[in-house]
Amino acid sequence: MAASERRFGSRHRNPFSTSRAVRLIVGAIVRGGHRIRGTKTISPRPVARTVDYPPRVRAVLDHAKATHGDTVLVHAKGERYEGTLMPHHGFSGEDILTLKLPSGYNVGIAVGDVESVEVTAKPPVTRPERHLPPPTEDKPTIAVLGTGGTIASYVDYRTGAVHPAVTAEELVFSVPELLDVCNIRARVIYSIYSENLKPENWQRLAREAAKEFESGAAGVVIPHGTDTLHFTTAALSFMLRDLTAPVVVVGAQRSSDRPSSDAAMNLLSAARVATADLGEVVAVMHGETSDSFGVIHRGTKVRKMHSSRRDAFRSLNATPLGRVHPDGRVELTERVLPRSKGPTKVDDALDLKVALVYFYPGQRTSELEATLAGLHGAVIAGTGLGHVSHDLIPILHGAVRDGVAVVMATQTLQGRVNMRVYDTGRDLMKAGVISAEDMTPETAYVKLMWVLGHTREPPEVARAMATNVAGEINPRIGLDEFAE
């Protein structure tokens, strides 16, 4: 057995049991006084964001001095409707005034049919403050570090509006079943859509996670936007050494206002994994489109592979580390790295002058040359076994001579780079291009930043990129490690 395989230890199990959170939101539409009950919709769509009312609706509401959240009485076409005025979203019908009735159903009224609007009650000025209960000795304490994203939202069931969880306590209360699994101490590190995250955010997150372990946390859960979740898990995997407990990064493909939301199950699964005998950074997401189980992915091997499916995440060139079942059982494979005795160390030096470049047929030499100018490193996502067009090889060779570390990954995502097979690959090797082995382009990009944060000496960079640090290199890819 190779040394890199031996590093990822033995079989460990730690089942926890609790009930599963269920969220269901049902709507109805009223047009011209006729009610049509809507059906539950699970088709993929973006999260509806609050926008201003259309001019005709705004004029009616301004006349009544009404705004969303008010309780209003509306007369339309001889019908009388009383309920909570809902906010207008990007997906709301044009010139439709929407109320939430006391029954919980929503009604939409065409503004042209409205005869009068009267405000009968105003909402409280502020949301009630919520506090987590004191910890109990019979449960482990998990730290929840909020970062934003779809999972960090909750439904105001009075208005039906989706709010960002402005405090980590609100995020926890969106899934109160978490408190049956563990004690929670929660705080928001930042609240950012994941596409806006930068390497500096990864560094801060690593430091904050380490602080939690110093304070005795039995595990850390990081709710995170899904779009760049795999960048963050890779970065934390390299920057956090000798983990005394798991760091579990978790997201949601659909917000909690959706009947098909995966937020509650994913958060609950993440909390259970955070108490398991696991000493590495992992991602926990849905294993199937249904709620049958969650999957535990190694932080350096996971990638988002679909824009909207609930089971969008896959382990690439590796099998998952385990499963989380709805009854609370956590199953871990023999490949997991167990908890270290510690202390957990932060090694967060990063070189930010690194780029991820996608090769395509017809790519101009001048474009690649301009992209590489001023960089310390670049990961090229090449075709197949790791190729670019022959006219780009001198550009890469020149960059290597100028001190730029150039690493070749593959656009296929699955499989290994092998530049020894064809002439193009051998020419790239002669030019000094380093193989990313079976790392995804994203993991190779993050690792190169981390390596260059420690050294820029070409032989040392090449050696470090070929060394398995956090399970990012699989010495042998088995037939069962192809993600379908």
- CA atoms lying within 13 Å on the CB side of residue 392: 27
In one-letter notation, the amino acid at residue 338 is P
Q: How confident is the model at residue 425 (pLDDT cuts 50, 70, 90)?
A: very high
Return the structure tokens found at 353: 């002058």
The answer to whether residue 115 scores a pLDDT higher than 90 is yes
Mean pLDDT of all residues belonging to the chain: 86
Length of the chain in terms of residues written: 484
Q: How confident is the model at residue 38 (pLDDT cuts 50, 70, 90)?
A: very low
Q: Specify whether 71 is catalytic.
A: no
> ∠ at Cα 471 (465, 473), nearest 5°?
50
Could you tell me which residues are beta bridge partners of residue 406?
378
Q: How confident is the model at residue 68 (pLDDT cuts 50, 70, 90)?
A: confident
Which listed residue (84, 167, 226, 275) is catalytic? Answer: 226
Q: Which domains does the chain carry?
A: 3-21+127-344 (3.40.50.1170), 45-121 (2.30.30.520), 354-465 (3.40.50.40)
Distance CA 115, CA 117 (A): 7
* pLDDT cut 90: percent of the chain above it: 69
The answer to whether residue 61 scores a pLDDT higher than 90 is yes
Highest mean pLDDT among 17-26, 82-91, 131-140, 171-180: 131-140
Q: How confident is the model at residue 176 (pLDDT cuts 50, 70, 90)?
A: confident
Distance CA 129, CA 437 (A): 51
Which listed residue (113, 180, 227, 347) is catalytic? Answer: 227
Q: Identify the burial level of 160 via C-beta atoms within 10 angstroms of its C-beta, where 0-12 means exposed, 13-18 middle and 19 or more buried.
A: buried
Which has more pLDDT, 257 or 111? 111
Q: Specify whether 319 is catalytic.
A: no
pLDDT at 126: 58
Q: Does the CA dihedral 128-129-130-134 come out positive or negative?
A: negative
The answer to whether residue 453 scores a pLDDT higher than 90 is yes
Which listed residue (100, 301, 304, 447) is catalytic? Answer: 304
Distance CA 346, CA 326 (A): 34
Mean pLDDT, to the nearest integer, of 402-429?
A: 98
Closest CA to 240 of 321, 304, 300, 322: 300
Tell me which long-range contacts 292-295 makes (C-beta under 8 A, separation of at least 24): 292/326, 293/323, 293/324, 293/325, 293/326, 294/265, 294/266, 294/269, 294/323, 294/324, 295/320, 295/322, 295/323, 295/324
Closest CA to 85 of 137, 50, 39, 34: 50
Distance CA 409, CA 448 (A): 12
3-state SS of the chain is CCHHHHCCCCCCECCCCCCCCCCCCCCEEEECCEEEECCCCCCCCCCCCECCCCHHHHHHHHHHCCCCCCEEEEEECCEEEEEEECCCECCCCCCEEEEECCCCCEEEEEHHHEEEEEEEECCCCCCCCCCCCCCCCCCCEEEEEECCCCCCEEEECCCCEEEECCCHHHHHHCCCCHHHHCEEEEEECCCCCHHHCCHHHHHHHHHHHHHHHHCCCCEEEEECCCCCHHHHHHHHHHHEECCCCCEEEECCCCCCCCCCCCHHHHHHHHHHHHCCCCCCEEEEEECCCCCCCEEEEECCCEEECCCCCCCCEEECCCCCCEEECCCCCEEECCCCCCCCCCCCEECCCCCCCEEEEECCCCCCHHHHHHHHCCCCEEEEEEECCCECCHHHHHHHHHHHHCCCEEEEEECCCCCCCCCCCCHHHHHHHHCCCEECCCCCHHHHHHHHHHHHCCCCCHHHHHHHHCCCCCCCCCCCCCHHHCCC
pLDDT digits (tens, 9 = 90+) for 140-156: 999 999 997 666 665 56
Neighbours of 418 (CB within 10 A): 14
The answer to whether residue 482 scores a pLDDT higher than 50 is yes
Neighbours of 241 (CB within 10 A): 16
Distance CA 444, CA 450 (A): 10
| Cβ contact 426:479 at 8 Å | no
Least confident of 70-79, 155-164, 302-311: 155-164
Mean pLDDT, to the nearest integer, of 136-142?
A: 94
Closest CA to 143 of 85, 79, 211, 207: 211
Q: How confident is the model at residue 255 (pLDDT cuts 50, 70, 90)?
A: confident
Highest mean pLDDT among 148-157, 159-168, 452-461: 452-461
pLDDT digits (tens, 9 = 90+) for 273-292: 999 999 999 999 999 999 99
Which listed residue (71, 98, 150, 244) is catalytic? Answer: 150
The answer to whether residue 272 scores a pLDDT higher than 90 is yes
- pTM beyond 0.85: no
Mean pLDDT, to the nearest integer, of 53-59?
A: 89
pLDDT digits (tens, 9 = 90+) for 306-337: 999 999 999 999 999 999 999 999 999 999 99
Q: Which residues contact 126 (CB under 8 A, 6 or more apart)?
A: none
Return the structure tokens found at 128: 């009630």
Tell me phi and psi for residue 154, to 5 degrees.
Answer: -145, 160
Q: Specify whether 227 is catalytic.
A: yes
| Cβ contact 347:238 at 8 Å | yes
